[in-house]
Amino acid sequence: MHETGLAAPVLILAGLLLLATSSSILLKKLRFPYTIGLVVIGMALGILAQYTDALEPVLKVDLSHDLIMYVLLPILIFDAAINIKPPHLFREMGSVMNLAVFGVVLSMLVIGVIMNALTPLSLAGAMLFGALISATDPVAVIALFKEVGAPARMSMLMDAESLFNDATAIVIFGIVLAVIQAGGGVGTGVVLGGVWSFIEVFFGGILVGTIMGIATHWLLKLGKSEPFVQIAHTTILAYGSFIIADHVLGVSGVMSTIAAGIVTRSESGKVLSDQVRSFITPYWEFMAFLANSLIFLLLGMKEDLLFRNLEHLQNYYPYLLIAIAAVLIGRLVVVYLLLPISNRLPVGRPVDNKTKAIMFWGGLRGVVPVALMLSIPDSIPEKKLIIDMTLAVILFSLLVQGTTVNWLMTKLDVNQHYHVVREAMKKLGG
């Protein structure tokens, strides 16, 4: 047998995709959310692989920071962005930006204060944990809300918030980490510098994505008679807008890809051929399906880090429970303090109490906190505890909140699928 560098990893990747896609059939029959089911399957696979020689190569495929940020996340961000209707987004922009910017900062502060008071984390370590865990994750939120049939406006609010606050969390995490590594205090100069850095990175990403979206618009126009070329150009834009912004220019890759996707959607009617317009949505849904499948399966395997040292876990589990409670309290404060303020703004419609309840409980955490926790330098002494806390919060978020949000939506009578079935039953009865 010939030794090759790529054959084994590609075969393992294909096997993981086969497991994920085959599992979707069973999970659908069980009426269990696909993405959350994959986390459970991934955890089981990770445990089996440790004790089964035949499965040991599976452990070589790891959910790394770069795999999340530069391979999988651009696909999911771009797919979400091209499905956002700009008029609807702008109508809700007050609530979205309130939650996505001020909400992340407020949540970080609430979580940081609680964790510093009740756990061994220093104030710096507690704020670092608060920064990486405060944003609701677009990968988890968008996937779940599609599956459970959330109402259109609620989905749009949650999707947009999770996209924008993801960018905010990444930027704030970078600022907090830089302050910790610099070793200085938090004075007025540091705060003002952090605010300026946030503005530069956040809006710089929007500028980069907009410019790249406009440039791609001309390429799409030139290739109007070549459907596959146009599809390829949208794929290049998704990756290019993220990586050039984040890795090359040091601005927000998430905001860049969001802007590029919105520009593409806005201009698609003018430059895309009829064939591409009918194909582009299924294409990106397929790409997102593959990315989601890999992300949640590998996320389940990554949770194995939490259970490797059971003696350590037994000693530290009270701090993990405190972390879960702190994140829920932070989310509660954000939703019920900031949304009433947004409701007083002259733009947009008020957010009702049922939607607030779903937005609180449906604020899932997923792979972006994993990417951020993996980027913490080993020189930070509290890294191991922060990783354990992050994985515990994600596990609770997906397995408890993720599996009960559909029940809560039905209980509050806001489940779109429930209404469709109920109306159909009424017609049959009549």
Q: What is the pLDDT of residues 282-331, one digit of tens each?
A: 999 999 989 989 988 988 888 877 776 667 677 788 999 999 999 999 99
Tokens of 357: 């309840």
| Rounded Cα distance, 380 and 122, in Å | 11
Contact 155, 145 (CB under 8 A): yes
Dihedral sign, Cα of residue 145, residue 147, residue 151, residue 156: positive
Q: How far apart are CA 262 and CA 265, in angstroms?
A: 5
On whether the CB atoms of residues 120 and 319 are closer than 8 A, the answer is yes
CB of 246 closer than 8 Å to CB of 204:
no
Residue bearing tokens 């992300």: 295
Rg (CA), the chain: 22
With a CB cutoff of 8 Å and minimum separation 6, the contacts of 188 are none
Q: Give the orientation angle of helix 138-148 with respect to helix 73-82, to 10 degrees.
A: 50
Amino acid at 151: P
Q: What is the pLDDT of residue 256?
A: 97
Annotated domain spans of the chain: 1-61, 64-301+311-424
Q: How many residues does the chain have?
A: 430
C-alpha to C-alpha distance for 96 and 140, rounded to whole angstroms: 18
Token pair, residue 175, equals 């600022």
* pLDDT tens track for 390-414: 999 999 998 899 888 888 888 888 7
Residue linked to tokens 């996209």: 163
- Has this prediction a pTM greater than 0.85? yes
Q: At what angle do helices 152-182 and 138-148 cross, to 10 degrees?
A: 170
Q: How far apart are CA 340 and CA 355, in angstroms?
A: 12
- CATH code, 64-301+311-424: 1.20.1530.20
What's the DSSP call for residue 293? H
The DSSP result for 358-407, as a single string, is HHHHT----HHHHHHHHTS-TTSTTHHHHHHHHHHHHHHIIIIIHHHHHH
**DSSP states along 290-339:** HHHHHHHHHHHHHTHHHHS-HHHHHHHHHHHHHHHHHHHHHHHHHHHHHH
Q: What is the pLDDT along the chain (430 residues), one digit of tens a residue?
A: 455 577 888 888 899 999 998 998 888 888 888 888 899 999 899 888 888 887 888 877 888 889 999 999 999 999 989 988 888 888 888 888 899 999 999 999 999 999 999 999 999 999 999 999 998 876 666 666 666 666 777 778 888 888 888 889 998 998 899 888 877 666 677 778 888 888 999 999 999 999 999 999 999 888 877 888 999 999 999 999 999 999 999 999 999 999 999 999 887 777 887 778 888 889 999 999 899 899 889 888 888 777 766 676 777 889 999 999 999 999 999 999 999 998 887 776 788 898 899 889 988 888 889 999 999 998 888 999 999 999 999 999 988 998 888 888 888 887 654 444 344 434 444 4
For 102-116, what is each residue's pLDDT tens digit? 999 999 999 999 999
pLDDT at 424: 41
